[in-house]
Amino acid sequence: MICKAEIEAGICGFHTTLCAQSEDVQHVAFEVETDCDKIRRLAVELSTLGPLDAFQEINPAKGSRLLETARTSMSGCCAGCAVPVGLFKAMQVAAALALPKDVHIGISSA
């Protein structure tokens, strides 16, 4: 299964397009295009891991290699960056662990 996502990260103005693909509905590989150097670094690190086992990624007892890789490879990036969450959600859809549905976070100052 293939899942595509477009992420506008916020005030930084960076745009990321990603494709999560699974040939066996379990192991997911990513293709990432972005204008953010830090997300590019994350994409390179993810590619060195090979396809991720989505079943293991969602196991709360095991932890997520995807999210851990994001934490370690995105030093100097905003801790609230939406791209790692977008990658995780796309992985779930590609592995048929979730239905495709947009996620929205509306932010304003009150």
- Is residue 95 within 8 A of residue 28, CB to CB? The reply is yes
Q: What is residue 73's three-state secondary structure? A: helix
CA dihedral 77, 18, 68, 98 (to 10 degrees): 130
Question: Do the domain assignments include residue 81?
Answer: yes
Q: Which helix (H) or strand (E) holds 8?
A: strand 2-8
Give residue-wise pLDDT tens across range 68-97: 999 999 888 887 899 999 999 999 999 999
Domain of residue 77 covers 2-94
Question: Do the domain assignments include residue 103?
Answer: no
Question: Do the domain assignments include residue 102?
Answer: no
The top-scoring range by mean pLDDT among 4-13, 23-32, 79-88 is 23-32
Give residue-wise pLDDT tens across range 31-80: 999 999 999 999 999 999 999 999 999 998 888 999 999 999 988 888 78
CA distance 10 to 27: 30
Q: pLDDT band at residue 24, thresholds of 50, 70 and 90?
A: very high
Could you tell me the CATH number of the domain that includes residue 45? 3.90.1010
What total number of domains does the chain contain?
1
Question: Do the domain assignments include residue 107?
Answer: no
pLDDT of residue 62: 87
pLDDT of residue 16: 96
Question: Do the domain assignments include residue 90?
Answer: yes
Read off φ and ψ for residue 79, nearest 5 degrees.
-65, -20
pLDDT of residue 10: 85
